Amino acid sequence: MTHALPHDLSCPRILTREGGLELSRVVAGMWRMVDWGMTVEQRVAFIEQCIAIGVTSFDHADIYGNYGVEGLFGEALRAQPSLRARIQLVSKCGIKLVSGKRPQHTIQHYDTTVAHIIASAEESLRQLHTDRLDLLLIHRPDPLMDFDEVAGAFTRLREAGKVLHFGVSNFSRHQFESLDRRIRLATNQVEFSPLHVAPLFDETFDGLQDRGVAPMIWSPLGGGRLFSANDAGAEQLRLVIKEIADRLHQPFASVVFAWIMQLPSRPIPLTGSGRIEAIKVAVAGAGFQLARTDWFAILRAARGHEVA
């Protein structure tokens, strides 16, 4: 069944932390942009369409698209410079891929040294054709990460006006709080979906809620597996979500986004699509709440057992 979306669909905004960075309630994830095959003009139009529905925040990483996505997005900003003042740019650093574009990398590894963080941020600025990032994240926890060194790199970038806010991605509660004690962090971007509910139970969301920090969510649809996984558990989960979606006359994916955004830590989900209709479906999830019984029906199906 298909469902019409409201004509006045618009995405609200959310503070990642009191007095901190303001992002759109749904963030457009750019990691697949190389695969979309868009011309510069089509990229400009896509950004404009996102802005028109209130999706003004765009998520990047230096490594996305084999170090290619930021450059593609930057070409759009170069073609239409007025876009920059209307959007928020998020990027990540700290992973070094083995790539023909980085011949000096001989093994895939993490690097959270001051030199790499600053050099990566400056390269992101160059690729994105901008003078500032609104938010820079450490992409993955690094076993050799020195919290004081990371905080020092962040401080230097902030004092230079090159990065306005900072955060992390895929950090545990303890890792987040250890760095947050040294420099105020805006968010922790983590994987979460009905197919991956660990942050509900490993203190990730509890710890962020306690500090007034809204997490960002990657892979909210399980990388598409919510639609395609064929094991018995995934099929039962899909049936439960579909029953709720049909009863509420909402798209399937909108129900999933609503389920995620209903958490008291105020998660900010990312999309991964280059289709504006798919992004509208995500935004629609911000427009309604699930009954508590429906919310727990999805959780029960996700875990395969009752809560007690």
DSSP sequence for 222-271: GGGHHHH--SHHHHHHHHHHHHHHHHHT--HHHHHHHHHHTSTT--EEEE
Q: Is 64 a catalytic residue?
A: yes
Give the separation between CA 146 and CA 149, rounded to whole angstroms: 5
- Give SS3 for 107: coil
Q: What is the pLDDT along the chain (308 residues), one digit of tens a residue?
A: 456 565 556 788 888 887 789 999 999 999 999 999 999 999 999 999 999 999 999 999 999 999 999 999 999 999 999 999 999 999 999 999 999 999 999 999 999 999 999 999 999 999 999 999 999 999 999 999 999 999 999 999 999 999 999 999 999 999 999 999 999 999 999 999 999 999 999 999 999 999 999 999 999 999 999 999 888 889 999 999 999 999 999 999 999 999 999 999 999 999 999 999 999 999 999 999 999 999 999 999 999 999 88
Can you identify the CATH homologous superfamily of domain 13-303?
Answer: NADP-dependent oxidoreductase domain (3.20.20.100)
Specify whether the CB–CB gap between 138 and 112 falls below 8 A: yes
Going by their DSSP bridges, the two strands 216-218 and 268-271 should be labelled as parallel
Other Cβ atoms within 10 Å of 277 Cβ, number: 10
Short-list 291, 307, 214, 304, CA closest to 247: 291
Q: Which of 46, 64, 218, 257 is catalytic?
A: 64
Domain ranges of the chain: 13-303
d(CA 258, CA 291): 11
Contacting residues for 253 by C-beta, under 8 A, at least 6 apart = 221, 226, 278, 281, 282, 285
- φ/ψ of 191, rounded to 5, equals -80, 135
